[in-house]
Amino acid sequence: MSNKTTPTDASVEAFVAAVPNEARREDAQTLLRLLSDVSGEAPRMWGPTIVGFGTYDYTYDSGRSGKWLRIGFSPRKRENVVYLMGGFEQHTDLLSRLGKYKTGKSCLYISRLANVDLDVLRELMVASLAEMAEKYPSGA
């Protein structure tokens, strides 16, 4: 079984420019700049709605394997989703200083970037990328 969400050749800039909500579009432009800077990677569309930076190959205990983005974001209708594949358990100190957010397994949900401390968000991104580099050092 392969992943439904895979890298595409769609334009990241066109995707971000087409985000219908102006505030969400501005946040997406900020996230694009921030993640480009933090990751040192070129952005790439993953499926129709996720902007990803870098990749890693994984294999689950079940034997299922694939390729996924190391870090990324998606400007959704209600909130921005930041994909931090390193998880959050070890970052309670940073999360306590971040501001207003919710989390999922590897998803950080932020309604508006104005509601969080961007310096702390940057620290979380750097930490997530460092964990991914340690866990998956041979990323493409």
Residue ranges covered by each domain of the chain? 12-135
- Which architecture, in CATH terms, is 12-135? Alpha-Beta Complex (3.90)
60-112 tens-digit pLDDT: 788 888 889 999 999 999 999 999 998 888 899 999 999 999 999 899 999 99
Within its chain, how far is the Cα of 83 from the centroid? Answer: 3
Q: What is the pLDDT of residue 63?
A: 83
Q: How far is CA 130 from CA 84, 89, 136, in A?
A: 11, 15, 10
Q: What is the pLDDT of residue 120?
A: 98
- Long-range CB pairs of 64-67 (<8 Å, 24+ gap) are 64/1, 66/2, 66/3, 67/3, 67/6, 67/7, 67/140
Neighbours of 134 (CB within 10 A): 9
Q: What is the DSSP letter of 117?
A: -
31-48 tens-digit pLDDT: 999 999 999 999 999 999
CA atoms within 13 A of residue 4's CA, in its CB half-sphere: 2
